Structure 1
Amino acid sequence: MSTPVTHRRLRLNLDHASWELLWSHVHRVLAVNLGMAVTNAPLLLALGVVHRPWQYPVFFGLLSLGLGPSLAAAFHYLRRATEEDRASTADLFRGYRRLFAPALLGWAPWVLLVAVAATDVAVLRTTAPGPALVPLLVVVAVVAASSGVVAMAAVADDPRLSPRTLLTASCTSVRRWWLGLLNLALLGITLVLVNQAPLLGLAVLPGCTLFVVWRNSRTMLTTVAPTADLPVSHAHRDPVGAQA
């Protein structure tokens, strides 16, 4: 006599607190994605229209100046949402307005340094001293880009930092270079994916990537917090990349 086969259905049972926590993370990601898309609309539009943006370094260099304030605003929003557990989408745009001037001043020198290094690479790569100078210039560009990201994390914590303190904070990307390279790799991959699928990429990726970049940047800033009076929480000493 055969026994009847019973079919069991798997159910995902989550309590109200779990759903609330899940939705809070989704809300943060969507808010950051919206903020990055709105504040960088001219850059995104130009990237969608121009097929070879590297041929117009001055034009895209000027548009990329807006990335600094938007990064600082996103980091400020993530800090409030994570540490203070209270942040709305309006807070992100208010932070963008409040941090715009100090973030732009802290971001512009690194953009200029990257632009100069990239231009020198394009000019010198076919010349006799090219093989000796190009690797050095590439390193300069990478360090400048990583330092600029860390500088925006520092501005997001305290926009009143002095230029000397901000420079000290930015240079922590050299001390913990592996985290800086991880940040740039994640940002580069995100940029490529957004370029390939703009709507889907902008809806999903920037918020997730920037959360990891923010946590890693805060970890780098803790190395100078005791001496440079940086307001960095000790709750973020462990980088996200090292927790996997």
Structure 2
Amino acid sequence: MRLRHDTIGTAFDILYLGLATNLMLVLGAAPVLAVAFATDTSRSWPLLALLAPVAAPGLCGVFAVFAGYSETRSTAVVATFARAWRASFRRAATLGALAAAVLVVLGVDARAAWGRPVGAVAIPVLVTGMVLVVAAALHGLAALAERPSARVRDVLRASVYLGVRHWPLTLLSLVVLALLLTLLAARPAVALGLAAAPLLYVIWANSRYALRAALEPLRSNRT
């Protein structure tokens, strides 16, 4: 009976963690989601790129919730999210802005090269660059979730190197991210209400494992 009680309690904790985390994610990314759902993204992508940095601290908050539960089984979702969001806001937004700017430049270049002879060489290189930028941003946000005082350049250096070094985990994270975005486009209520937390947990777990060698050194870095 004791085991059954503990199992039921754990199940309810995980259910609450997932639902509350999804709610915090929606609140943190509200401006981006509002534009994405209310407009044609093929036309409004410049505005989405401009607003993307606003959502970055929200992802840090989500990753901090996962870290808290993993380490201490903490289910204080709102408090943990708010604390991480506030602590990481400036650096996470900076990282998000850098990633968005580079993605826009590479995307525009790829679009310009499409259908031209140079595209056969340039487009694969540009797409690879875009993939690396997304991967580095995910790893960087996972690092800032636990080390919000780390310098952005240190986070980026570690994220790029360790993301490439642990490329199977990085590739899995990118596949999971693509699945989440596909589900978000097709079934936004399901994606934001149910699927976001478990899928983002996979991304966080992969990123944290890849970054384990850098998280301790990042602890001592200050602005």
Q: Give 1:14 shift.
A: 6.7
- Which residue of 13, 27, 32 corresponds with 1:24? 13
Partner Cα distance (1:175, 1:204) in 2: 32
User: Hey, what does 1:237 align to over in structure 2?
Assistant: none
Spell out, residue by residue over 1:156-209, the C-alpha distance to the aligned partner (whole angstroms, 9 max, x if none).
Answer: 111111234212221111111221121111111111112212222211011001
Unaligned runs of 5+ in 1: 1-12, 232-244
User: Hey, what does 2:151 align to over in structure 1?
Assistant: 162
Partner Cα distance (2:39, 2:134) in 1: 23
Spell out, residue by residue over 1:68-97, the C-alpha distance to the aligned partner (whole angstroms, 9 max, x if none).
Answer: 111111011111122022242322123212
2:26 paired with 1:15: no
- Which residue of 54, 57, 67 corresponds with 1:66? 54
**1:95-244 alignment runs, 5 A limit:** 95-171=84-160, 172-225=162-215, 229-231=217-219
Report the CA distance shift for 1:33/1:140 in structure 2 as closer, same or farther (over 3 A).
same
Aligned residues: 216
Moved more, 167-176 or 133-142: 167-176
Do 1:33 and 1:202's aligned partners in 2 also have CA atoms closer than 8 Å?
yes
Instruction: Look up the equivalent residue of 1:149 and give its one-letter code.
Output: L
Partner Cα distance (2:165, 2:32) in 1: 31
Report the CA distance shift for 1:224/1:86 in structure 2 as closer, same or farther (over 3 A).
closer
Do 2:13 and 2:75's aligned partners in 1 also have CA atoms closer than 8 Å?
no
* Larger relative helix fraction: 2
Partner Cα distance (1:207, 1:132) in 2: 38
Instruction: Look up the equivalent residue of 1:80 and give its one-letter code.
Output: G
Do 1:154 and 1:169's aligned partners in 2 also have CA atoms closer than 8 Å?
no
- Which residue of 45, 54, 59 corresponds with 1:57? 45
Do 1:103 and 1:155's aligned partners in 2 also have CA atoms closer than 8 Å?
yes
Do 1:72 and 1:153's aligned partners in 2 also have CA atoms closer than 8 Å?
yes
Do 2:147 and 2:215's aligned partners in 1 also have CA atoms closer than 8 Å?
no
Do 2:99 and 2:137's aligned partners in 1 also have CA atoms closer than 8 Å?
yes
The 3-state SS of whatever aligns with 2:117 is coil
Do 1:68 and 1:103's aligned partners in 2 also have CA atoms closer than 8 Å?
yes
Q: Give 1:66 shift.
A: 2.1
Partner Cα distance (2:113, 2:20) in 1: 42
Do 1:146 and 1:173's aligned partners in 2 also have CA atoms closer than 8 Å?
yes
TM-score, with structure 2 as normaliser: 0.90
- Which residue of 27, 33, 47 corresponds with 2:36? 47
User: Hey, what does 1:7 align to over in structure 2?
Assistant: none
User: Hey, what does 2:70 align to over in structure 1?
Assistant: 82
Moved more, 69-78 or 53-62: 53-62
TM-score, with structure 1 as normaliser: 0.82
Q: Identity across aligned pairs (percent)? A: 25
Instruction: Look up the equivalent residue of 2:22 and give its one-letter code.
Output: N
Partner Cα distance (2:171, 2:42) in 1: 21
Q: Give 1:221 shift.
A: 0.3
Spell out, residue by residue over 1:38-69, the C-alpha distance to the aligned partner (whole angstroms, 9 max, x if none).
Answer: 11122222222223x13433211012222311
Do 1:33 and 1:207's aligned partners in 2 also have CA atoms closer than 8 Å?
yes
